[in-house]
């Protein structure tokens, strides 16, 4: 015996199937309490947001897994990543600074690091610190465009671009790359495999490092998209 489903009934069955198999929830990184039953080995001293110039370290009670550019795992305070990272919080609201989404992990790490370094420079400028002109980009400046050197005791080319109606920032392994990234969000490179190690080497020469917390989901992973929060840590 055979039967034929009407279009209306077939649609009803399809809807029931979707509802009975909901998408997997967003993946959450592993967290532990600093003085809990699980001992968090290899903790990295992590800089607070807005504290690059002062090198202020955060010491929160809740820790989250992070990975450096080489994939080495460590633990950093969750409060530098989320605004609701108290011990009982649900970790729903990550800070926008250093948060990046890109088609590959290296690209996301570079974008997040660029945003963090540039944002720190802008914050110091707003606090009254005088930033010098970026002499390497003197040819790119004009009557209505000022390009400042945003390095805060590190060697990564970082710029703050000021205009009549704009404030942009960015960092890269070269000054012109930083300028392009500040204005367009990308330095135009199709392969960031070399830039990421160069950036981390520059940070390492100033006693700094990078650690990223993955904030993607199973759906983003299947699509090949990386989403992470890039943080600044003290060197190894």
- Is pLDDT above 80 for 15? no
Q: What is the pLDDT of residue 211?
A: 97
* Low-confidence winner among 35-39, 110-114, 139-143, 207-211 (lowest mean pLDDT): 35-39
Residue 57 pLDDT level (bands cut at 50, 70, 90): very high
**95-148 pLDDT, tens digit each:** 999 999 999 999 999 999 999 999 999 999 999 999 999 999 988 887 788 999
Residue 200 pLDDT level (bands cut at 50, 70, 90): very high
DSSP the chain: ------HHHHHHHHHHHHHHSPPPPPP---EEETTSSS---SB--EEPTT-TTTTPEE--SEEEEEE-TT--EEEEEGGGTBTT-STT-----B-STTEEEESSHHHHHHHHHHHHHHHHHHHHHHTTPPPPB-GGGTTT-BTTBEEEE--SSS-S-EEEEEETTEEEEEE-SSHHHHHHHHHHSS-S-S--TTHHHHHHHHHHTTTEEEEEEE---HHHHHTT-EEEEEEEEE--
Q: What is the pLDDT of residue 178?
A: 95
Q: What is the pLDDT of residue 69?
A: 92
């Amino acid at each position: 015996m055979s039967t034929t489903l009407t279009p209306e009934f077939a649609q009803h069955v399809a809807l029931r199937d979707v509802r009975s198999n909901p998408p997997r929830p967003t993946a959450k990184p592993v967290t532990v309490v600093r003085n809990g039953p699980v001992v968090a080995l290899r903790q990295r001293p992590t800089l607070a947001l807005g504290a690059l110039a002062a090198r202020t370290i955060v010491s929160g009670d809740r820790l989250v897994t992070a990975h450096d550019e080489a994939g080495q795992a460590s633990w950093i305070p969750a409060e530098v990543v989320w605004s609701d990272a108290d011990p009982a919080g649900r970790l729903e609201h990550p800070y926008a600074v250093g948060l990046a989404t890109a088609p590959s992990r290296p690209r996301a790490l570079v974008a997040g690091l660029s945003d963090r370094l540039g944002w720190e420079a802008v914050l110091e400028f707003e606090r009254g610190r005088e930033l010098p002109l970026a002499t390497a980009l003197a040819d790119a400046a004009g009557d209505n465009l000022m390009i400042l050197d945003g390095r805060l005791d590190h060697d990564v080319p970082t710029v703050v671009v000021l205009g009549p109606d704009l404030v942009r920032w960015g960092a890269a392994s070269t000054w012109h790359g930083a300028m392009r990234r500040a204005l367009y969000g990308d330095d135009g490179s199709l392969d960031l495999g070399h830039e990421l190690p160069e950036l981390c080497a520059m940070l390492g020469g100033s006693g700094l490092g990078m650690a990223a917390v993955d904030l993607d989901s199973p759906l983003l992973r299947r699509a090949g998209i990386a989403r992470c929060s890039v943080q600044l840590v003290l060197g190894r």
